[in-house]
Amino acid sequence: MKRRAWLSWLWFAIGIVYFFLPLAATFLFSLKGKKGVLSFVAYEHVFADPQFLKTFGFSLEMAVFTVAAGLLLIVPTAIWIHLKVPKAKPLIEFFTLLPFVIPPIILAFGLIRSFSKPPLALVSSPVLLVVGYVIISFPYIYRSVDAGLRAMDLRGLSEAAQSLGSGWTRLIFSVVLPNLRTALLSAVFLTFAIVIGELTLAVLLAWPAFGPYMALMGRNLAYEPAALAILSFAMTWGAIGLIQLVTKSGKDKSSGIGVGAH
């Protein structure tokens, strides 16, 4: 086995180069905003652009609604399955993983076609965007919540709580949800990371979101897009880093696989 170790190092090194070279190049590029010197002037331009704050704020708002709606839908469903209808689990798992393989472009197309005329003419309302985002973030939210529910003895806890005389509300709010805290937090961070930079749905439903704004910058400017890329990478790192921090041990396998966001 020992004689192969250098090969392992080689592949590892190739991986590191492939991952970090573009990041290093982007960072260097982002510093070239002023001719001849390295400076953060491109970042200053980005932050000074009122459109930056406006679109970022819009996407942030959409992310908040997405997280709220997604959790409201998934958390009760997941708890209900674990407690009452374990038979439904494979079915729910299937439907929550489906968005991984439905390309966002297909989802956007279908949503526009289905909701552009009465009875449900939602196409010009941000509700449709949020609904699409909830679908896209299904796999992340469900997997986090499910992992959290598996990690606790939900049945035992609920029996204990109920035999001590607590009702349903009490059980959910003082027993289950506090135990789900880390799972919920990782679902929230992942959803934020995905929604804020999302392009496809935002472009096709014509909303002034952060993703389309970045794409527009890329068409017109040279150094500011690089700065935006670095900022956005830092945000993803931040979100994933926070998840690692709250889940602490590496036992939780629910860290996100980014299928479908491309």
Partner 1 sequence: MTALDERNDPDPADKSPPDPMGHVPRAARRKEGLAWLGLLPFFVFVFLFMLLPVASIFTGSFQDASGAFTLKNFEHLFRPNILNSYLVTIRVSATTAVLGGALGFLIAYAISLGGLPRPLRSFMSTFAGVASNFAGVPLAFAFIATLGRMGLVTVLLRSFFGIDLYDKGFNLYSFWGLVFTYTYFQIPLMILIILPALDGMKKEWREASENLGASSLQYWLHVGIPVLLPSLLAALILLFGNAFGAYATAYALTGGLINLVPILIGAQIRGNVLHDANLGYTLALGMVIIMTFSIALYSWLQRISSRWVK
Give the DSSP letter of residue 117. S
Interface pick for partner 1 out of 42, 145, 240, 245 (rule CB under 8 A): 240
Nearer to partner 1, 62 or 131 (CB): 131
Interaxial angle between packed helices 89-97 and 50-83, expressed in degrees from 0 to 180 and rounded to the nearest 10: 160
Among 112, 123, 157, 246, indicate the residue that binds partner 1 (CB under 8 A).
112
Number of chain residues interacting with partner 1 (CB under 8 A) = 96
- Which of 42, 58, 67, 82 binds partner 1 (CB under 8 A)? It is 82
Give the separation between CA 113 and CA 131, rounded to whole angstroms: 14
Can you tell me the distance from the alpha carbon of 45 to that of 178, in angstroms, rounded to the nearest whole number? 43
Q: Least Å distance between CB 50 and partner 1?
A: 20
Residues recorded for the chain: 262
For residue 157, the one-letter residue type is: L
- Residue 124 interacting with partner 1 (CB under 8 A): no
Token pair listed for 215: 């794409």
Q: Of 60 and 215, which CB lies nearer to partner 1 in the complex structure?
A: 215
Write out the binding residues for partner 1, residues 31-60 only, by CB under 8 A: none
Choices 22-30, 37-45, 162-170, 178-186; region in contact with partner 1 by CB under 8 A: 22-30
